[in-house]
């Protein structure tokens, strides 16, 4: 979807080298498909812009249009963008990322290549439509022990066997647990106190929308885990529903 020569000119990617055209094309196709097939394309478009860490003004300047046009598409005030508009918006986001070193393009490229085929991952999904924080917690029987004042939507989830994750995943692979969006819930099973998962999150640059510790009571949470959650502004909760029920309920969330 992007001109490869343009990508080479923009792609000052440091030690990672030039981002390959096929990676860029696959990423662009993935984003375009998700936007076009979403129940609410405007919300999905906004999610991807935020995933790339780009403001409406930055994207508008890249495309030589008014920021109000981007705002109108993301709010639904304009009718759902056609494929040509979607293509142009995606190209703009990718181009901006390449201009800033290509961090997100490289990260998503690793996800595409790996397929996230790890035994530590019990389930992973990116939702077609975002789910409200309270609704998500209610469906999973989550008791919230640490919450931020700001309401936040959940755009996906990853269920992780914490013991296997510690054994199998290196730093880079741990970050891939976020899938296509950091605006997701990380659900850790087989935890004893929650300390290890929160420490792992603390040392990464990516932060989830919330963390759920499965199988323990609130009074069993490590004080260090609670301290990290507060310091990082990450809502933290526990759930004691059996894991099979958790996975079943998650399958019906987000469309």
Confidence (pLDDT) at 174: 77
Domains and CATH numbers, the chain: 4-112 (1.10.260), 116-251 (3.40.1390.20)
Environment class of 209 (CB within 10 Å of its CB; exposed 0-12, middle 13-18, buried 19+): buried
CB 182 within 8 A of CB 209: yes
- What is the edge-to-edge ordering of all strands in the sheet holding 153-161? 121-132, 153-161, 185-189, 210-214, 236-239, 143-146
Confidence (pLDDT) at 255: 56
Query: Which residue numbers in the chain have pLDDT < 50?
Result: 1-17, 117
CB 156 within 8 A of CB 181: yes
Confidence (pLDDT) at 19: 56
Confidence (pLDDT) at 11: 41
Confidence (pLDDT) at 6: 43
Confidence (pLDDT) at 16: 40
CA 199, CA 183: separation in Å to the nearest integer? 19
What's this model's pTM, rounded to 2 decimal places? 0.59
Confidence (pLDDT) at 116: 53
């Amino acid at each position: 979807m992007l001109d490869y020569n343009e990508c080479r000119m923009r792609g000052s990617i440091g030690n990672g080298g030039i981002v390959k055209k096929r990676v860029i094309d696959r990423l662009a196709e993935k984003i375009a498909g998700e936007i076009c097939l979403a129940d609410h394309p405007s919300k999905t478009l906004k999610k991807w812009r935020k995933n790339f860490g780009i403001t409406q003004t930055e994207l508008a300047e890249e495309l030589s249009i008014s920021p109000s046009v981007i705002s109108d598409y993301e709010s639904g005030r304009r009718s759902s963008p056609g494929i040509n508009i979607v293509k142009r918006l995606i190209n703009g986001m990718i181009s901006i990322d390449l201009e800033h070193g290509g961090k997100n393009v490289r990260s998503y490229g690793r996800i595409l290549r790996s397929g996230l085929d790890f035994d530590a991952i019990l389930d992973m999904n990116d939702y077609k439509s975002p789910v409200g924080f309270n609704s998500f917690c209610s469906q999973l029987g989550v008791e919230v022990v640490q919450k931020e004042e700001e309401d936040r939507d959940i755009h996906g989830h990853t269920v992780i066997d914490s013991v296997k994750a510690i054994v199998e995943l290196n730093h880079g692979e741990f970050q891939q647990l976020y899938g296509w969006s950091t605006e997701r819930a990380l659900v850790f099973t087989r935890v004893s106190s929650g300390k290890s998962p929160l420490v792992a999150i603390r040392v990464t640059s990516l932060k989830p929308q919330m963390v759920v510790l499965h199988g323990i009571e609130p009074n069993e949470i490590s004080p260090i885990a609670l301290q990290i959650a507060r310091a990082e502004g990450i809502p933290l909760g526990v759930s004691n529903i059996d894991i099979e029920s958790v996975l079943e309920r998650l399958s019906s969330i987000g469309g």
